[in-house]
Amino acid sequence: MQRNILLICLLLCQLSFAARAEDGSRLWLRQEAGTQTDIRAPRHSPTLDIAVDELRKAWQGAPVELVLKRDKTLKPEGFSITEKAGRVVISSPTEKGVLYGVYRLLQRQAERLPSGTPVTENPAFDLRILNHWDNLDRSVERGYAGRSLWNWDELSAPSDSDRLRYIEYARANASIGINATVLNNVNASPQILATDYLQKVKTLADLFRPYGIRVYLSVNFASPMTLGELKTADPLDKEVVTWWKNKAKEIYRLIPDFGGFLVKANSEGQPGPNDFGRTHADGANMLADVLKPYKGIVMWRAFVYSPNDDDRAKQAYLEFVPLDGQFRDNVIIQIKNGPVDFQPREPYSPLFGATPHTDQMVEFQITQEYLGFANHLAFLAPMWKEFLEFVAPASMRAMAGVANIGTDANWCGHLFAQANWYAFGRLAWNPELSSADIAREWLTQTFGTDEALVNDLSRMMLDSHEAVVDYMMPLGLHHIFSFSGHYGPGPWQTMPGGRPDWQPPYYHRADSIGVGFNRTHTGSNAVAQYPETLHRLYDDLQTCPEEYLLWFHHVPWTHLMRSGRTLWDEMCYHYDRGVQQARRFQQVWDKQESKVDAERFAHVQAKLRIQTRDAVWWKDACLLYFHTFSKMPIPYDIERPIHSFDALKRVFLRVGNHENVPEEMLNAVR
């Protein structure tokens, strides 16, 4: 009891401090000063007590009654909100559904929507999951917001401050309907399955459970060898199967509602069943059989590619389509939204829909590995909605997002990166929501309901992804980043003796004739993996959408685009448009100075300065480099390059930082 009182006092102090210091730590959950209205719940339980507490902290309307009852129109986590006899009624078949209904009611209050409007909602996906690429040493692969949240050294007995941070993490996820989390990196350490670490995983599972969040783990396929000291990890070996069965028994004894495993196998050096002459189906099914008695699942990643002559964009399809129908019913193939690797823009992966007898789920990347890290404003809902225009949500079983969360005070490194965490949760719940609706929801909960501010910032957010594409890789260009962490431009970079598909020239194929990767029937024929209508559309230079043009075609520099310009001129105008858009974002934000607290205003202003300088850097680097092939002049009505190409080629970056930049570039790049 004394410990609980201490935790409550610490939380109140934290909230009180947050009210004074606007560091972004409260995310979109900023409502306070609820009234003393009557709140009724059917019983006491950890989850329902949270629901009541949330209402008492923030609800300012009529009395509320929380109701548990079966309803044929509602899924287990669905809810309805109605008003009856002057009382708001939140009803669901489950306690989790009631909690989700409470958060939706509070969200509607923040937007000043009528509380009496009936609401009925069911989640589109039963599994809505964050994938943390967090390592046991608290580093985060592709993490740009500080260290890992999980303080593994102290998780057996976490400090009060750590415990509160974990609870706030769970609360934020529950507020947007996320119901699961993978705690560790897909490049998994076998140590996560050691008994002492499983005890620590239990600590987090116990804290998250009242918020409706189940815990999953990434596992290393060779764990029986490295942790269990077996001679093999062959999935058909009886000793290996016994080892996994015993490990599953140990896990579920500690965590009865453990969700299951995420597996990266035979990809980028990770061990897998292919190492033992077995298929992905053999490996996934062995683990699925082990988890089946506990109702656990296996999420098996389709991100596989080998150093061979096949187009990298084709390889997941070639690997998994022949295995369709061979996987157990508790296996889900987890597929990245695009066929290569979370690029600023990709066509959707043709593997979606190509295995009708195998469950599939999409993997989005919330963290901005290829979109300016935590330095650039890039609202990703429009990119994800673009994917959903091609792949029907009903064809998938789940949605996963690679988390962008760390120990930074504002959780995500960039205040506006919080909107991507929020957008992922909302789209996983309801993929029919528009990007504009999600932007307005997040803005009103984060900055208030000033209509001019919401309109201005909403437009800025909605334009931001396209702006990043324009100043980085327009018209279907892709994967031309510097080797140094996927941050800056490096289309010229090569690695002597390295794999071709880890080098930018592999993807852009620039020469004196033109630029782009020929994936048509005269090239790698990747277009043949798409349904017939898209196959024909993408295969024809005249009909291929221009946003994918250089993804599918090697196009002459002099090719006339729909604008009437040559490809070279069109590319120049796109790069320039991206720079000008980044400058407009600065202007839009500066207009809000009187409406936003000083701390958050200064934070975003500084980030937008970096973004604009980076946009100029990208534009100059790419145009000066590709000019060496096209030999065509940069149109004179766009902004001239301010860097020399020789200086740009000497830039070396460490991940996430601008370091060792030539003196002449310090003012423009730093």
Question: Per residue in 467-482, pLDDT tens?
Answer: 999 999 999 999 999 9
pLDDT at 602: 98
* pLDDT reading at 564 higher than 90: yes
Q: Do residues 301 and 287 touch, judged by C-beta distance below 8 A?
A: no
pLDDT digits (tens, 9 = 90+) for 277-331: 999 999 999 999 999 999 999 999 999 988 777 899 999 999 999 999 999 999 9
pLDDT digits (tens, 9 = 90+) for 326-349: 999 999 999 999 999 999 999 999
Q: What is the rounded average pLDDT of the residues 570-583?
A: 98
User: What is the chain's Cα-based Rg?
Assistant: 25
Task: Give the whole-number percent of the chain exceeding pLDDT 70.
Answer: 94
Question: Helix 451-472 vs helix 567-590: angle between axes, to the nearest 10 degrees?
Answer: 150
* pLDDT reading at 172 higher than 90: yes
d(CA 338, CA 334): 12
* pLDDT class of 654 with cuts at 50, 70, 90: low
* pLDDT reading at 419 higher than 80: yes
pTM of the entire predicted model: 0.95
| H or E stretch at 87 | strand 87-92
Q: What is the rounded average pLDDT of the residues 32-41?
A: 88
Q: What is the rounded average pLDDT of the residues 619-639?
A: 97
* pLDDT reading at 252 higher than 70: yes
Tokens of 534: 């898209």
* pLDDT reading at 130 higher than 60: yes
* pLDDT reading at 446 higher than 70: yes
Q: What is the rounded average pLDDT of the residues 98-121?
A: 94
Q: What is the rounded average pLDDT of the residues 6-32?
A: 67
pLDDT at 15: 47
Q: Which residues pair with 140 in a beta bridge?
A: 134
Full DSSP string of 235-299: TT-HHHHHHHHHHHHHHHHH-TT--EEEE--SSTT---GGGGT--HHHHHHHHHHHHGGGT-EEE
Residue 310's identity, in one-letter code, is D
Could you identify the residue written with the tokens 């918020």? 211
Active site residues: 268, 341, 369
More confident residue, 144 or 12: 144
Domains of the chain in sequence order: 32-121 (3.30.379.10), 127-436 (3.20.20.80), 471-517+554-669 (3.90.1330.10)
pLDDT at 507: 97
Which residue from 662, 624, 666 is spatially nearest to 645, judged by alpha carbons?
624
Which sign, positive or negative, has the C-alpha torsion 48, 54, 57, 61? negative
* pLDDT reading at 11 higher than 60: no
Tally of CB atoms within 10 A around 238? 8
* pLDDT class of 260 with cuts at 50, 70, 90: very high
Which residue from 274, 129, 249 is spatially nearest to 193, judged by alpha carbons?
249
Pairing of strands 360-365, 398-402: parallel
Could you identify the residue written with the tokens 């705690």? 183
Mean of per-residue pLDDT scores for the chain: 94
